Amino acid sequence: MSFKTDLLHDNQVHQKLWGDYKSIAATHTSPIYQTTTFILDDFDSAVYLNQHVDQGFVYSRFGGPSSDELERKVAHLEHAEAALALASGLGAISTAALSCLKAGDHVVFGDVIYGCTFTLFAKVLTNFGVTYTRVDTTDPQNVADAIQPNTTLVYVETPANPTLKISDIEAIAKIVHEHEGMKLIVDSTFASPYLQNPIDLGADMVVHSATKYLCGHGTATAGMIAGRKELIDRCRMPFMQCFGAVLGPFEAWLVMQGMKTLAARMDVTCANAMKVAKFLENHPKIDRVYYPGLESHPTHAIAKKQMHNGFGGMMSADIKGGMDAVRKVMNNVKVFSLATSLGNVDSLIQHSPSMSHFDMSPEERYASEIYDGQVRLSIGIEDADDLIADLDQALALI
């Protein structure tokens, strides 16, 4: 069954671990189980389920029917044994990372990653005895060279935010798995399961900010982790249990409704993004365009090998004239909305240095090619010609 049909018709994801729904009438839209507490049959089952929360529902902080269905759907799309739904993308990232790290451990991560993920590794976990090394993960040898005796985690974001670097997941996975116990986590938010499946390429876990492409409509904040069941069980207990980054049932339902159109949205988004990227690449007021679908992109060949169905809807561009030019463009776009998120059906624009990556020093940003004149574009499903015309009229004001 194709990905597009799976999104709407795979009945396996509607099954519970502890039974089936044959006695319940099928519904076109999944119900919302808006409750915090589940009534248990008897003392023995109550004791058992409280100690085996992956076998049923006890309390919504451990999971519920709505999040369970979402988890099964994402696990299916990512070709993973299991998945875990959380309250945000950072909830997913921090939970997955903490399940692999303890005091005294070392983590290797990319020189270009989401700003708050950088803060987690470089400014939060260091307070608890975790050390790190940042490397350019587009060269797998850099990862191999950075591994230390106490390295337990390699974390890769591909495509990377905001310069769209592409890292070879399969090559990095082979390096990681030469070391017993070491794990590879891949943030695949920019790609979504429609464009890339890191588990198939050897990643131990894949994380998503489901707020973005999985939901697609800017209506819910959510995160996902997918991987082997033993790893997901460890993420759920004790980490989600103790840190409480639980996804609410209504948000789970909203993400599932958005996922129904994931493939259709991504097809249009990818086609639009390619047209916009080519336009910007030839514009006299643009220094550089960062889009993996362009042959000029340094890691285009890896993207072509690793991604399928397209190159995504995200790109960045360096505008000539620095911050003053950025301010002029962002204050004058009419179709693009100025917003820090991404992956919506409508197109968004942000200034990465002062918004998503403001917590990095100028030196750290410049080393990662995040320059003062750089804007990040999230391309939506509008008419591509309207998006191009909007950017053209705003750039003309510089």
Omega of the bond leading into 198 within 30 degrees of 0 (cis): no
H helix runs in the chain, sequence order = 3-9, 43-51, 65-77, 89-98, 115-119, 140-146, 169-176, 192-195, 229-234, 241-243, 249-259, 262-281, 300-306, 322-330, 362-367, 384-395
212 is catalytic: yes
Residue type, 286: I
Tokens of 50: 């409280």
Residues near 342 by beta carbon (within 8 Å), at least 6 away in sequence? 190, 212, 314, 348, 376, 378
Omega of the bond leading into 159 within 30 degrees of 0 (cis): yes
**Annotated catalytic residue, options 4, 16, 61, 275:** 61
155 is catalytic: no
278 is catalytic: no
Tokens of 274: 């390619």
Nearest Cα to Cα of residue 357 among 305, 316, 297: 316
For 371, how many CA atoms within 13 A lie in the half-sphere containing its CB? 18
213 is catalytic: no
**Annotated catalytic residue, options 114, 155, 290, 371:** 114
81 with 228: CB under 8 angstroms? yes
Task: Give the span between the Cα atoms of 78 and 72, in whole angstroms.
Answer: 10
For 154, how many CA atoms within 13 A lie in the half-sphere containing its CB? 36
354 with 375: CB under 8 angstroms? no
Q: Return the ∠ at Cα 14 (arms to 219 and 76), rounded to 5°.
A: 75
Residue type, 202: G
Task: Give the span between the Cα atoms of 69 and 96, in whole angstroms.
Answer: 20
**Annotated catalytic residue, options 134, 165, 183, 212:** 212
**Annotated catalytic residue, options 68, 105, 168, 187:** 187
Residues near 105 by beta carbon (within 8 Å), at least 6 away in sequence? 129, 130, 131, 150, 151, 152, 153
Catalytic residues: 61, 114, 187, 212
